[in-house]
Amino acid sequence: MTETGDGAGTVAVLGAGAMGSALATPLRAAGWEVRLWGTAYDEHLLDACAAGQPHPRTGVPVPAGVRLYRSDEFAEALHGVDTVVLSTSSAGVVDTTAAATPYLTGVRALLLTSKGFAANAEGRVGPLHKAVQATIQAQGWEPVPVIVVGGPCLATEVAAGRPTAAVFGCADRALAQRYATRMGTDVYRAHATEDETGVELCSSLKNVYAIALGITDGLSKGGHQPSDNLKGAVFARAVTEMVFLVEALGGEASTAYGLAGAGDLEVTGMSGRNKIYGSRVGAGQAPTTALAEMAAAEQTVEGVPAARLAKRLVDQRLEGAWPRLPLLRTMIGLVDGKATVSDVVAAALPRL
């Protein structure tokens, strides 16, 4: 006999951008009833989905059977679901959570694909899943467990059904494992861990370190001199610093050298805006100019605000840690124009 609710259920995915729509592919394949809700900014995305066209952000149509909900159909989207996936922009997560709270009766878990560190009203930096939990409790509702979703998961490939290994992090590891099983398919698999903070920290920091990997690519292209050895050194330094930070915050080293850290960094360092930004800088463009040009083209570089939040996090919580974080410290300086590419090279190499 199967325990009630251990098979597929009904899920509301809040946010119809790249990752939200992409998850519809494995969720439908695993037998879930999927409701995809779009914010007011997602109207054109839902239009494409409703017309059976490829989703503009993933290039893949959402699978058959996905129900689409417009921004004003929020209550309908959430009615009677047992699971919610939060996939809006990181900036919108807390507001979306606050709006959803009255509808969470019967919801057994919130999965959080938007992630990163966020500052609370007092300016104290913490992981986004804590802000989600605090938002629910501030309204006087019972807490709902949050599962942080990390790992090397480009949305385009998840949508296309390419092999993907995610990480589900939740203090209630058994719950994370249950969801890994309920949502898993032949090609979408999740590793369950209780280290929710480590998953979220790595998901955020890998964007910062991907800029450094991009810089080594830019050095190769700009100076016509290969810098693969340096890329290896940067990669090792990045993983070593993530291990240190995760452990210092009470998490597990294996999160940082596994899927959420090294795995996600590998993918993020291959493509994407953080890497492109770094590559411009490595090829000789001033960091502030590169960022301004990309901003003008509406290309957000997530690693830049992530670097600044990381600085506040370390300053607030990890006294004396900076000597163990030479690359992170240098990247923070770089995005604010206070460190150079040469400083990045020096930070990646062992000291004499």
Enumerate binding residues for a second copy (CB under 8 A): 151-154, 156-158, 160, 162-165, 180-181, 184, 187, 189-191, 225-233, 235-236, 239-240, 243, 253-254, 256-259, 261-264, 266-267, 270-271, 345, 348-352
- AA identity, residue 247: E
**Is 274 within any annotated ligand binding site?**
yes
**Is 115 within any annotated ligand binding site?**
yes
Pick 119 or 165: Cβ nearer a second copy: 165
Q: How far apart are CA 217 and CA 210, in angstroms?
A: 11
Torsion angle in degrees (nearest 10) through CA of 305, 215, 270, 246: -50
Pick 120 or 229: Cβ nearer a second copy: 229
Q: How far apart are CA 87 and CA 35, in angstroms?
A: 13
We find the least distance from the C-beta atom of residue 200 to a second copy, in angstroms, to be 17
**Which residue out of 130, 206, 221, 338 is catalytically annotated?**
206
Cβ partners under 8 Å of residue 22, min gap 6: 55, 58, 60, 155, 156, 158, 159
Pick 36 or 210: Cβ nearer a second copy: 210
**Is 64 within any annotated ligand binding site?**
no
We find the least distance from the C-beta atom of residue 67 to a second copy, in angstroms, to be 26
Pick 41 or 257: Cβ nearer a second copy: 257
**Is 212 within any annotated ligand binding site?**
no
We find the least distance from the C-beta atom of residue 151 to a second copy, in angstroms, to be 7
Pick 19 or 107: Cβ nearer a second copy: 19
Compute and round to an integer the Cα radius of gyration of the chain. Answer: 20
- 206 as an active site residue: the answer is yes
**Is 120 within any annotated ligand binding site?**
no
Pick 154 or 205: Cβ nearer a second copy: 154
We find the least distance from the C-beta atom of residue 233 to a second copy, in angstroms, to be 4
We find the least distance from the C-beta atom of residue 269 to a second copy, in angstroms, to be 9
**Is 20 within any annotated ligand binding site?**
yes
Long-range contact pairs involving 92-100 (C-beta distance under 8 Å, separation at least 24):
92/15, 92/39, 93/128, 93/131, 93/132, 94/118, 94/131, 94/132, 94/135, 96/14, 96/15, 96/39, 97/132, 97/135, 97/136, 98/135, 98/139, 99/74, 100/14, 100/74
Handedness of CA 317, 177, 207, 12 (dihedral sign): negative
We find the least distance from the C-beta atom of residue 224 to a second copy, in angstroms, to be 11
Catalytic residue positions, numbered? 206
Which residue ranges are tagged as binding site for NAD(+)? 15-20, 155, 273
Which residue ranges are tagged as binding site? 15-20, 115, 155, 273-274
